[in-house]
Amino acid sequence: MSEPDSQRLHAVVASLAGVIGHDQFPRGDLAELRRLRPEMPPAAYWRLLFDRVPEAWRKSDRMERAWALVMSGMAVMAPDCHSPKAPLGRVLARIGGGTAESRLWTLLRSRDEQLEDHLRLVVRFLASKEERVDWTGLARLLFAADEASRDAVCRQLARGFYMTESPAQPEAAAE
């Protein structure tokens, strides 16, 4: 299995967010996740990974690294880190301004370690605005196994931003 299917991915993401954002989640574990380095994740990461993520979705280093970034980002945004009805593009459009658009495009154009760095910047930006986001889209971006699936995720995130920011005019749709 190269990429998780969306429905099951959403369930796993929601489960992780429920644990990480819960007021009873140990503060020490939360701090570890916030400082997490994907190349050497802390014990809190491994406990969550093996407790909440299906085995098929943690079989490779790439997948483990993606989950590390998801968990770390959720921890930075905790306690209110996940909202299933708040896609990243729509949330950034609601925030508005050139900074939000620039952060989205930098994230969508990034690959590998740059993607990780820019994801952290977007997460900190959202946390500073006290915004929640649907982590499923971000997870799909991290899990995209090939350029075609990655491009599809990027297009979906961009559509969310621009459809919210400036809906198409009726006459433009007819062209």
Percent share of the chain, pLDDT over 90: 83
pLDDT tens, 102-151?
999 999 999 988 999 999 999 999 999 999 999 999 999 999 988 999 99
Classify residue 1: in a domain, yes or no.
no
Read off the CATH number of the domain in which 114 is found.
Answer: 1.10.520.40
What residue has token string 């990974």?
49
Strand partners, 88: none
pLDDT tens, 33-57?
999 998 999 999 999 999 999 999 9
Residue 82: strand, helix, or coil: strand
pTM of the model: 0.89
> Which pLDDT value is given to residue 172?
41
Q: Is the pLDDT of residue 64 over 90?
A: yes
* Number of domains the chain is built from: 1
Q: Is the pLDDT of residue 4 over 70?
A: no
Classify residue 173: in a domain, yes or no.
no
Classify residue 174: in a domain, yes or no.
no
